[in-house]
Amino acid sequence: MRDEQTEMTKAPLTTITAKPAPEETQTCWSCGTMRAVHFCEFCGKVQPPAPVDYFTFFGLPRKLNLDVTALEEDFYELSRKLHPDINARAGSQEQEWSLQQSSLLNDAHRTLKDPIKRTQYLLKLEGVELEEQSKSATEQARSTGELKKQIVPPDLLEEVFELNVQLEELRMQKKMGEDDPALIEEIGRQKLELEEKHEALLEELRTHWKTWDRLIEREQAGKVVSEDERKQARDKMVDLLNRRNYIRNLVRDVSEALGE
Amino acid sequence: MSSYRIVGIDLGTTNSLVAFMQGESPAVIPGEDGLNLVPSVVALDEKNQPVIGNAARKYLAETPERTVYSIKRLMGRGVDDIQEELKFFPFRLAEDLQPGEVLRIKLGDKTFTPPEISALILRQLKRNAERFFGAPVAKAVITVPAYFNDAQRQATKDAGRIAGLEVLRLVNEPTAASLAYGLDKKQNGIVAVYDLGGGTFDISILKLHDGIFEVVSTNGDTHLGGDDIDNLLITIALDDTLGDLSLDLRRNAEAVQAIRKAVIEAKIALSSQPSAKLDIELPGDKRYLREITREQFEQLIRPIIDRTVGPCKQALKDAGLKPEQIDEVVLVGGSTRIPKVRALVKELFHRDPHTDLNPDEVVALGAAVQANILGGGSEATENMLLLDVTPLSLGIEVAGGVTDKIILRNSTIPASATQFYTTQIDGQANVAIHVLQGERELAKDCRSLARFDLKGIPPMAAGMARIEVKFLIDANGILNVSAREQRSGKESEIQVQPSYGLTDEQVEGMILDSFDSAEEDFRQRQVIEARNEAATILAALDKGKKSPAWGQLTTDEKKKIAKMEKALIAVKADDDYQAIRKAIDALNQGTTRLAELMMDSAVSVALKGKTMDEADMGEGPTAPHPMAKAEFE
C-alpha cells in the first residue's frame, strides 16, 4: 500500500503508485479480500492489467537514476507470479491477463534497464517528441539516398565537415579501385574518437539525470517545481540524446564507407 | 496428477522423441520396438496406410517415392523459400500447387502438407506415450529451433493440433536442453548452448539465477546441420560414380538412398575411428569403393561447420559478453559428436564443453521438465522458470519499403508493441499492414510474416481515425495482433487476417481426418486393457477358490460368482470393451464378500481386480509395465 514514507525510496514491489492515486478499494477479483495490484498478495491470482506507465508498473518514481540490480530482482520476483508458465493451469481469462501482465512486465524491464531507452521513455511520458522517434524517417531517407535534414551539433561542425570531405574522397577512391592506407587510417582514427565521444555523452547524461531527479524529489517533498525548471532539465537531455544520435549515425556511415 | 499426462516432445529433423517426468527426473518413453529414437520418416505402405519411424526406414530404399524424411526443413515455408532444399532432398511437390498455397508433398498418389506429415510423427509419439501410460495423452510441450520464425512455429503448433495434441508451449530447443542440464546442478552463472542437429543450428546464451533460466541472446541458422554434411558426401560420391564408373545416378532415387545410408554410417564411424570405408553396391553389378580418412573428412566439412561461427559471435555480442565470461558450454544435437565440431566450440568459448547428457535426448528431456513446470511443478522443478526471447526482430513496413522495427530481437517474451494508424482518404474503410520478421532495413530483405487488413473502420474524414494496433509475441514466440479504432464512439474490434500458413478451417479439417482413426486406435487399446484386466481378476478368483475363505461362502454365493465368471469369460473374447468392463465390475461386486473374508483370514491375496490407475505408473519405464509389448496380441 502506498503511504507517505515510501516517497523517497522505491515503493514495495506489489504497489502501484499510479497517477492519479489508485482507488483504495481495489480488491482481488478472485478472493475479494486483499487490495491487489499485479497479483493478489493473499491468494496469488493474477489481476487484470491496469493501463500504467513503466515506472508505475515497478512502483518507481519517475526518476532516472535507478538501481538496476534492484530492478532486476523485482523483475525476477514479478516474473515468478505473472509469467504464463506459472499460470498455465489457470482459466482462460486469467491466462489472458497473465499474458498481458507478463508482456507489460517485460516491456517495462527492457525499457527501464537501459539508460538511453529509460531517458527516451521518460521524455516521451513528459510529452517530448524526440528526433529518435522518427527513426523510420531516417531510414527512409537512407534507403532513398536522400539526405535527411539534420542539424549538426555546433561543437561538431568543424570535425564533421572535415570527415565528410575525407569520406567523399574515400568513396571516390573506392570507385576508381584505388587504395590509400593513410586516408583509411586517418578515418579510422576519427571513428575511434567519435566512438569515445559517444561513450562520454552517456556520462554527461548522468549529470542531467541528477538535475531531473532533484526536481522530482522536491515535488515529492511537497514543494513547487515550475514548468520552466522541468522544461530546462528536459531540453538538456533532449539536446544530448540528439547529439548522441547524430554521432551514432555518423559512426555507422563511417563504418559503411570503410566497408566494415 | 494430470501433469503426468503432459509429455515433452522433441520433433527433430532426423529423429523425434517423447519424454515425461518420472518422479524427480525426466525419462524418454521408448516405442513398441524398445527404442527411444523415432526416426522422423513417414512412408505410405502398400495399403496406403502411413508408417512412421523405424518401420518406415525400409521404405526409404524400397519405395522412395512413397517416403519422406527431413520434413522439418519445409515447415512454415513457401515454394520460393525451398528451391535450395529441392536440389538436395527428394521432396516431390504436388503438381497442382497454387501460388500462395501451403506446400503439399506427394507420397504415392496422395498429397500432404508439412504440418500433416509432422502430425503423423507426433501421433506416433503420442501413441507410444499412451501405450506406455495405458491412458490417453492430450497435452504436450513441443520443442522448436530457437531460430524458427513465426510461420515455422505456427506450422509446428498446427501439426500438434492435427495430431490431436493440445500444444501447451513451444519451447526453444537449446533452452529446453539447458533445463535438462540445470535440473541437477542448480547453480548461477552464464551458460552457452551450442545445438547442431540434423537440419538446424542454434546458439543460445542463458543467465541462470536461482532457478530462473533467462535467455540473454540467441542466434542460429534454420538450414544448417548434419543433413548438409550428408549431402556434401553424397554429392562427392555421385560425382565419383559419374567420373570413374560413367554412371549417372542422380535421378536414381534408390541408388541415392543407398549412398545416403552408407555415407551417414561412414560419418558416424569417423567420430570414433581414424578412417571409414564406403562400399556400395550399385546398379549394373557395379561397386563404389572409397576410403575416407578423418583428416579428409574434417577438411571437407570445415566450410559447413564454420558457418556456426558467425551466429556464435553475434550471440556473444548481443549478450554483451566475452567468451571468457561464459561459465559453461553445453553441446546438443547429434552433429556435436563430431570431434572437429567439439574442437571448434572449444576454440570459440575457450573451454571444454559439457557432454554428460546424451545429445540426442537432452532436448526431449528438457521438454519434459517444461511440461512438468506447466503442469504445476514438483519438488525437482520448484522455483524453475524459463524466460525466453524472440530470435528475430519484428517490424512493420512503412513508406518507401522500409522496415520499422517495433520489437527488437532478443527481447524477452511475451513482448508487445503498440502502433497507431490512421486513414489516408475520406471514408477509407480498410488499412493494410505488412508485418515483417528479420534484421534487414528494407522490407523486401525481411521475411514477410503476414499482411493484415484492418477492416470495418467507421467512415470518417481522412486522418481522423485513430487505430491502435497491438502486436504481442506470446510465450511460444508466436505473434498475436489485435486492433481497435479509438475515435469512433464505440471501440470496435477490427478483424485481422493473416495471409500465411494454414487457416483455422484447414487445420480443423485435418484434425477430423486423423481424429477418426485416433478414436479407433484408442478403442482398440481400451479392448486390450480391458482384456488384461479381466485376465487379472480371473486369475485372482482362481486363487480365491483355493483359499479357506471360499469354503465360508454359501452355495448360492458360489453359484452367483460362477455365473458372473462365465459371463466375463464369454465377453472377454469380443471387441466390446464396455461389455468387458461391465462384466469385470459385476464380478468385482459379486466377490466383495469373498475378498473381505480373505482379508479377515489374513490371506493377503487381493482379489479386487486392479484398475489401471496412476498409482501403477510411478514405477516407470524400468518396471515391467502393464501395457508392455508382450501383452499386445
Taking 80 as the threshold, does the pLDDT of residue A229 lie above it?
yes
Partner residue opposite B475 with nearest CB, options A85, A104, A109? A85
Same-domain check for residues A32 and A105: yes
B376 touches chain A (CB under 8 A): yes
Which B-chain residues 41-60 have CB contacts (< 8 A) with chain A? none
Per-residue pLDDT, B615: 33
Higher-confidence residue: B98 or B352? B352
Closest B-chain CA to A135: B404
**Which of B116, B195, B228, B521 is the catalytic position?**
B195
- In sequence order, the 6+-apart residues with CB closer than 8 A to the CB of B294 are B270, B273, B274, B275, B339
Taking 90 as the threshold, does the pLDDT of residue B219 lie above it?
yes
Taking 60 as the threshold, does the pLDDT of residue A21 lie above it?
no
d(CA B537, CA B543): 10
Q: How confident is the model at residue B520 (pLDDT cuts 50, 70, 90)?
A: low
d(CA A132, CA A138): 9
User: Taking a C-beta distance cutoff of 8 angstroms, is the pair B336, B352 a contact?
Assistant: no
Per-residue pLDDT, B632: 29
Higher-confidence residue: B208 or B355? B208
What are the angstrom distances between the C-alpha of B278 and each of B236, B246, B264, B286, B618?
12, 18, 10, 13, 46
Residues of A in contact with B404 (CB under 8 A): 135-136, 139
Same-domain check for residues A228 and A155: yes
Structural domains in chain B, sorted by start? 2-224+306-387 (3.30.420.40), 226-305 (3.90.640.10), 394-502 (2.60.34.10), 506-631 (1.20.1270.10)
Secondary structure (3-state) at A253: helix
Taking 50 as the threshold, does the pLDDT of residue B580 lie above it?
yes
Per-residue pLDDT, B466: 81
- In sequence order, the 6+-apart residues with CB closer than 8 A to the CB of A253 are A167
Residue A134 lies in a domain: no
Complex confidence, ipTM: 0.78
The answer to which of B1-15, B195-209, B547-561 has the lowest mean pLDDT is B1-15
Residue A99 lies in a domain: yes
Same-domain check for residues A85 and A191: no
User: Taking a C-beta distance cutoff of 8 angstroms, is the pair B565, B541 a contact?
Assistant: yes
Residues of A in contact with B412 (CB under 8 A): 106, 109-110
Same-domain check for residues A243 and A153: yes
Q: How confident is the model at residue A98 (pLDDT cuts 50, 70, 90)?
A: very high
Residue A121 lies in a domain: no
Taking an 8 Å cut-off on Cβ atoms, the answer to whether A76 and B210 are in contact is yes
Per-residue pLDDT, A3: 39
Residues of A in contact with B442 (CB under 8 A): 143
User: Taking a C-beta distance cutoff of 8 angstroms, is the pair A57, A49 a contact?
Assistant: no
Taking 80 as the threshold, does the pLDDT of residue B496 lie above it?
no
Select the residue from B167, B382, B385 to test the A interface by mutation, using most A Cβ atoms within 10 A. Answer: B385
Residue A122 lies in a domain: no
Q: Active site includes B195? A: yes
Taking 60 as the threshold, does the pLDDT of residue A215 lie above it?
yes
Taking 70 as the threshold, does the pLDDT of residue A33 lie above it?
no
Please give the average per-residue pLDDT across A229-251, as a whole number.
87
Same-domain check for residues A167 and A248: yes
Which residue is it, cell 536522400? A146
Q: Active site includes B173? A: yes
Residues of B in contact with A85 (CB under 8 A): 169, 370, 373-374, 385-386, 475
Q: Which of B115, B178, B177, B172 is nearest to B147 (CA)?
A: B172
Task: Specify whether the backbone of B164 is left (phi greater than 0), alpha (psi in -120 to 50) or beta.
Answer: left
Higher-confidence residue: A17 or B372? B372
* This prediction's pTM: 0.79
Taking 90 as the threshold, does the pLDDT of residue B363 lie above it?
yes
Residue A68 lies in a domain: yes
Please give the average per-residue pLDDT across B438-445, as a whole number.
85
Please give the average per-residue pLDDT across B49-76, as a whole number.
90
Q: How confident is the model at residue B113 (pLDDT cuts 50, 70, 90)?
A: very high
Residues of B in contact with A83 (CB under 8 A): 385, 387, 475
- B249-295 residue pLDDT tens: 888 888 888 899 999 999 999 999 999 998 988 887 888 888 999 99
Taking 70 as the threshold, does the pLDDT of residue B74 lie above it?
yes
Same-domain check for residues A77 and A152: no
**Range of the structural domain that residue A154 is part of:** 143-257
How is residue B93 annotated by DSSP? B
Q: Which of A150, A256, A258, A254 is nearest to A193 (CA)?
A: A254
Per-residue pLDDT, B271: 93
Please give the average per-residue pLDDT across B509-522, as a whole number.
61
Residue A49 lies in a domain: yes
Partner residue opposite B474 with nearest CB, options A79, A88, A99? A99
Same-domain check for residues A79 and A165: no
Taking 60 as the threshold, does the pLDDT of residue B450 lie above it?
yes
Per-residue pLDDT, B83: 82
Q: How confident is the model at residue B95 (pLDDT cuts 50, 70, 90)?
A: confident
Same-domain check for residues A77 and A176: no
Per-residue pLDDT, B518: 57
Taking 90 as the threshold, does the pLDDT of residue A243 lie above it?
no
Taking 70 as the threshold, does the pLDDT of residue B571 lie above it?
yes
Taking 60 as the threshold, does the pLDDT of residue B614 lie above it?
no
d(CA B192, CA B332): 11
Select the residue from B1, B374, B390, B421 to test the A interface by mutation, using most A Cβ atoms within 10 A. Answer: B374
Average pLDDT, chain B: 84
Taking 70 as the threshold, does the pLDDT of residue B631 lie above it?
no
Q: Active site includes B228? A: no
B363–chain A nearest CA distance, Å: 18
**DSSP letters for A11-55:** PPTT----SSPPPTT---TTT--S--SSB-TTT-PBPPPP---HH
The answer to which of A58-62, B264-268, B322-326 has the lowest mean pLDDT is A58-62
Residue A225 lies in a domain: yes
Residue A132 lies in a domain: no
Taking 80 as the threshold, does the pLDDT of residue B202 lie above it?
yes
Same-domain check for residues A84 and A167: no
User: Taking a C-beta distance cutoff of 8 angstroms, is the pair B162, B116 a contact?
Assistant: yes
Per-residue pLDDT, B67: 93
B508–chain A nearest CA distance, Å: 21
Same-domain check for residues A241 and A171: yes
Please give the average per-residue pLDDT across B117-132, as a whole number.
94
CATH number of the domain to which A109 belongs: 1.10.287.110
Taking 60 as the threshold, does the pLDDT of residue B28 lie above it?
yes
Please give the average per-residue pLDDT across B613-631, as a whole number.
32
Per-residue pLDDT, B2: 44
Same-domain check for residues A251 and A151: yes
Domain tally for chain A?
2
Partner residue opposite A85 with nearest CB, options B383, B385, B415? B385
Same-domain check for residues A102 and A161: no
Higher-confidence residue: B470 or B310? B310
Taking an 8 Å cut-off on Cβ atoms, the answer to whether B411 and A106 are in contact is yes
Closest B-chain CA to A110: B411
Taking an 8 Å cut-off on Cβ atoms, the answer to whether A107 and B373 are in contact is no
Per-residue pLDDT, B602: 45
d(CA B475, CA B153): 11
Residue B594 has phi, psi (to 5 degrees) of -60, -45
Neighbour order of strands in the sheet with B402-407: B402-407, B394-398, B431-437, B447-454
**Which of B173, B202, B221, B328 is the catalytic position?**
B173
Per-residue pLDDT, A132: 46
Percent of chain A whose predicted confidence (pLDDT) is above 90: 25
Per-residue pLDDT, B307: 96
Q: How confident is the model at residue A131 (pLDDT cuts 50, 70, 90)?
A: low
- In sequence order, the 6+-apart residues with CB closer than 8 A to the CB of A140 are B398, B399, B400, B402
Higher-confidence residue: B194 or B603? B194
Please give the average per-residue pLDDT across B622-629, as a whole number.
30
Taking 70 as the threshold, does the pLDDT of residue A19 lie above it?
no
- B380-391 residue pLDDT tens: 888 899 999 999
Cα B242 versus chain centre, distance: 39
